Structure 1
Amino acid sequence: MRRSLLPFLFLCASIASAEVTSIGSRRELFVDKLLIDQMQGATLRLHHPEEAGIAVKFDQPWEGRFSAYITVIHNDEANKFQMYYRGNAGFKDGTSGEVTCYAESADGKTWVKPKLGLHEINGSKDNNVMLANLAPYTHNFAPFIDRRPGVPKEQRYKALAGLGGKSGGLSAFVSADGMHWQKMQDAAVITKGAFDSQNVSFWSEAEQCYVAYFRVFTAGIIDEKNWKPKGVRWVSRATSKDFLTWTDAVQMTCDQPLVDHIYISQTNPYFNAPHLYISTAARFMPGKDVLDDQAKKYLAEDTKAYPALIKDCSEAVLMTSRAGTTAYNRSFMEGFVRPGLHFRNWTSRSNYPACGLVQTGKSEMSLYVERHYGQSTALLQRFTLRLDGFASLHADYAGGEMTTKPFTFTGKALHLNLSTGAAGSVAVEIQDAEGKPLPGFTLDDCKALSYDDIDRVIGWKTGNDVSALAGKPVRLRWVLKDADVFSFRFE
């Protein structure tokens, strides 16, 4: 007896429906393979930030060679950039010698250290110290502007800070102006972790909750009293509706083996695509001594204060995550910001990025990286990237193509952030969910783009209006030659 095919067909239809991603009008970047089905001759290429000068020198007595754990915020309401960082001229971690310092900028490029007049240091209040005598919280104070709709003015700024031991973990702080802070409650709000690091938090527009990323060790801490962690430094995540009550910590998974020490994750929503979390993380290489005798001779004075200076090295790497997930994607295992030519950057804990990517021009964004850590020349360097320019879909002169998985969108036109050579081009074919070219949107119909622009609409012989396809499962077939596509969006 012949069986009916209807149940099988319904099952296939159900599976196909589940595999269709809805992207709406959000911007998608080529930092992972969520939407990628097949590639031929095309690759995902990591792009490296370019040096753009010194942002801040840690040259004041209360700052010093161990200044670290920097946060950069764009305050769009006040039209300024704000920077918070630890000042530590050589005091033991978590002691009263550590302070939290403040700097600000009108453009994210030139920074000033205002005389805040809040705390007396060395007999004077003419300094940029925002928090003092608040150990251990000044060790790793990490603030953000809370953009949750309806947040009370007195809680506009929030922060997590603290260590283990007597402090009990991470405590929650609030402020109306980002200068004067108070605890939300006496008890720590997150207690399970290895918090001797920069532990970051933010309001997630995509998840509609607060999210925190903080230091753990992959195999835990087998002896907290004598501080004997096991495994490599890594990251856990928790969420909260009120910044006080947090879910149990969940250790992040990864699509690569967990062999790197990730000292700080600096995970934050990307301002141009807030459903995508960007981590400009620090990869720590303990015990990797690479300096020659001449470099060590130059560092002799600094190593007297910090013998471990020449025993390790580190760099910035790029990791990404999607809102609501507990997985990191590491499509690019190579260094994002390398130590570079200067021997002073091939030292322990140098090259740690600040938390916070900010837009500093129409087509430019900036990130900030510590250099010369533990040395008398300690500083923060600014780097620049093209807007959305972490990575790209790339093809060389020989050409290549990529086809996406099925997805649905909303909008009327397809906008690209792209760059081609003079002989290069980018063309797009729109297909149905099964991969069949749609009439009017075939490759032959496409008006290929040869240009460099952060926002360029692509079209076909009949025009650029794709609204008739909105809400329907489609695939995009990208055909490139000597070109990079950094992001796309329907709107």
Structure 2
Amino acid sequence: MPMRRTHLIYASGIVLVLNAVAAAQDAAPLDIGSRLELFADTYVIDKLDGAQLRLQSPVPAETVLEFDKPWEGEFCAYATVIKDADRYRLYYRGLPESGADGSAAESTCYAESTDGIHFTKPNLGLFEVFGTRDNNAILHGFEPLSHNFAPFVDTRPDVDAAQRYKALGGTSSTGLVAFVSADGVNWRKLRDEAVINQGALDSQNVAFWSESERQYVCYLRTFDQESKVRTVSRCTSKDFVTWTDIAPMEFGGATPEHLYTNQTTPYFRAPHLYVAIAARFMEGRRVVSEELMAQMGGHTKYSGDCSDAVLLTTRGGTHYDRTFMEGFIRPGIGMNNWTSRTNYPARGVVPTGESEMSMYVQRNYGQKSHHLQRLVMRTDGFASVHAPYGGGEMITKPLTFDGVSLAINFSTSAAGSVWIELQRADGTPIPGFTREECDEIVGDEITRIVTWKGDADVSPLSGGPVRVRAVLKDADLFSVQFMPKMRVNW
């Protein structure tokens, strides 16, 4: 098992105050309702004392797909993985030869799975590609629209069943053209004209229906002329046809970096939180020589750069939170993944078990061994509030909620513990919900209901501003949620 890597957000001294307590008291409380809130950024955190916000690392698992068909090859790219009821759908660009973006050799390919691990390529017979219809292509001959075809399931409540699946594809020469489908396999253009005509678009441009914003949003490739880096912009639409002008995303003053793909998507357990696992492109940072690339069976043209992936979050609007600048997915051991345009994540983080979620990454780009690998994490486990054996604590900003109990996703060592205290907005412990009255929490669970002297009911506090204080010893806290219905621990 690979060693777990972590990255910490901390400051010199014992206490890290993310927002001054006095200022937080004056500000309106965050209304989180009964939503799940992850500690993937500092959004709900006000104060850390002896604890740290720690970036977790996906664990590499098995190869789920080899790009080994004649119409696939070394230059497959821009994958999307969707959990659709009891089926996992995988879309990706097939391209066996390098060349200009949008060449006639490009196609859009499809695979599917029942578990997110074992994928098959159905023989669809829809298009003739490289002299045969015995293939898994769902789009071909629409160049350049297969260059970066990016589908999603439209979760809008009143969506037309014939348009339940939607996609965008195209480059700056055509703009982004909209596609629709009833089954995710047979696609048609929504209209011939492009629906988005701004941006560089020479990458994977991802759209989805936002439940929280009640509109379609698209995160697309642009180029920052000031900092000279590939970056991300955003636009929105009420009908998927008429889109607003694009607006550049800002990163809170973080150092500008090339972000080749953004892969922004709603997190499946908390769709108000958009998680972006972006490909960070280190242009000109050579690790592999041309001679070594040739020995590995790769194209030497794609040996002069390296890439990894970084974690960003956003809750709508034009701001990304770059809490962590460190790599989220590293290239890893072996020189094959230290070449250009490899390690690009697929779009999609999907559940593959009761306590597990999976993401996917392209490995060995530009080489005969090019493939898609699965990586696994615990549910909600992008990052955590972590305290060492010596202990630490976290206090949230004032919150209003709608619920009857409080659930936490946590992990302790055998010697570790978690205690939860609920406080008034001014930081005063609320009688009946103090740390001393909290029943000690030990173990490793995705959903544990907090109790105080055996009682889990927090409904008397619903609607009023409260702070959550977590006191931890050799433990990690991944998420919290005020539950709308009472449940018991098993």
2:298 aligns to what?
A: 302
1:4 aligns to what?
A: none
Residue 27 (1) aligns with residue 33 (2): no
Residue 53 (1) aligns with residue 62 (2): yes
Pair 1:481–1:294, CA change in 2 (3 A): farther
Paired residue for 1:85, among 86, 92, 99? Answer: 92
Matches within 5 A, 1:191-270: 191-219=197-225, 231-270=228-267
Residue 427 (1) aligns with residue 405 (2): no
Pair 1:383–1:432, CA change in 2 (3 A): same
1:227 aligns to what?
A: none
- 2:254–2:322 contact (8 Å) kept in structure 1: no
- In structure 2, give the amino acid aligned to 1:251: P
- In structure 1, give the amino acid aligned to 2:309: A
1:311 aligns to what?
A: 304
Distance of 2:423 and 2:340 partners within structure 1: 51
- 1:232–1:258 contact (8 Å) kept in structure 2: no
Deviation at 1:66, TM superposition (A): 0.2
Pair 1:117–1:47, CA change in 2 (3 A): same
| Superposed CA offset, 1:236-273 (max 9, x none) | 01110000001111100112434210000000000000
- In structure 1, give the amino acid aligned to 2:34: S
Distance of 1:68 and 1:197 partners within structure 2: 10
TM-score under structure 1 length normalisation: 0.91
| Superposed CA offset, 1:287-311 (max 9, x none) | 0001268734523x423xxx33210
How many pairs does the alignment contain?
461
1:98 aligns to what?
A: 106
Pair 1:184–1:297, CA change in 2 (3 A): closer
Distance of 1:424 and 1:291 partners within structure 2: 44
Distance of 1:310 and 1:180 partners within structure 2: 37
Normalized per residue, the structure richer in helix is 1
1:143 aligns to what?
A: 151
| Superposed CA offset, 1:204-248 (max 9, x none) | 11111101000001128xxxxxxxxx7101100111000000111
Q: Work out which of the two has the higher radius of gyration on C-alpha atoms and give 1 or 2.
A: 1
- 1:317–1:333 contact (8 Å) kept in structure 2: yes
| Superposed CA offset, 1:103-157 (max 9, x none) | 0001100000010011122332111111110100010000011111111111111
Deviation at 1:95, TM superposition (A): 1.4
1:43 aligns to what?
A: 52
Matches within 5 A, 1:12-411: 16=25, 18-76=27-85, 79-92=86-99, 93-165=101-173, 167=174, 169-219=175-225, 231-291=228-288, 295-296=292-293, 298-299=295-296, 301-303=297-299, 307-322=300-315, 324-411=316-403
Distance of 2:60 and 2:454 partners within structure 1: 44
Distance of 1:182 and 1:292 partners within structure 2: 44
Query: Aligned with 1:295: secondary structure?
Result: helix
Deviation at 1:15, TM superposition (A): 8.8
Matches within 5 A, 1:430-469: 430-461=422-453, 463-469=455-461
Distance of 2:250 and 2:23 partners within structure 1: 28
- 1:440–1:462 contact (8 Å) kept in structure 2: no
- In structure 2, give the amino acid aligned to 1:355: R
Distance of 1:462 and 1:112 partners within structure 2: 49
- 2:289–2:304 contact (8 Å) kept in structure 1: no
Unaligned runs of 5+ in 1: 1-12, 221-229
Query: Aligned with 2:57: secondary structure?
Result: coil
- In structure 1, give the amino acid aligned to 2:176: L
Unaligned runs of 5+ in 2: 1-21, 484-490
1:9 aligns to what?
A: none
| Superposed CA offset, 1:36-78 (max 9, x none) | 11111101111111111001000111000000000111111xx
- 1:358–1:365 contact (8 Å) kept in structure 2: yes
Pair 1:459–1:248, CA change in 2 (3 A): same
- In structure 2, give the amino acid aligned to 1:30: F
Pair 1:51–1:375, CA change in 2 (3 A): same
Distance of 1:411 and 1:15 partners within structure 2: 23
- 2:290–2:303 contact (8 Å) kept in structure 1: no
- 1:256–1:330 contact (8 Å) kept in structure 2: no
Distance of 1:231 and 1:112 partners within structure 2: 41
- 2:314–2:320 contact (8 Å) kept in structure 1: yes
- In structure 2, give the amino acid aligned to 1:175: S
Query: Aligned with 2:451: secondary structure?
Result: strand
Sequence identity percentage? 54
- In structure 1, give the amino acid aligned to 2:248: Q
1:10 aligns to what?
A: none
Query: Aligned with 1:138: secondary structure?
Result: coil
Query: Aligned with 1:350: secondary structure?
Result: coil
- 1:64–1:90 contact (8 Å) kept in structure 2: yes
2:11 aligns to what?
A: none
TM-score under structure 2 length normalisation: 0.92
- In structure 1, give the amino acid aligned to 2:243: W
Distance of 2:98 and 2:480 partners within structure 1: 48
Deviation at 1:404, TM superposition (A): 1.0
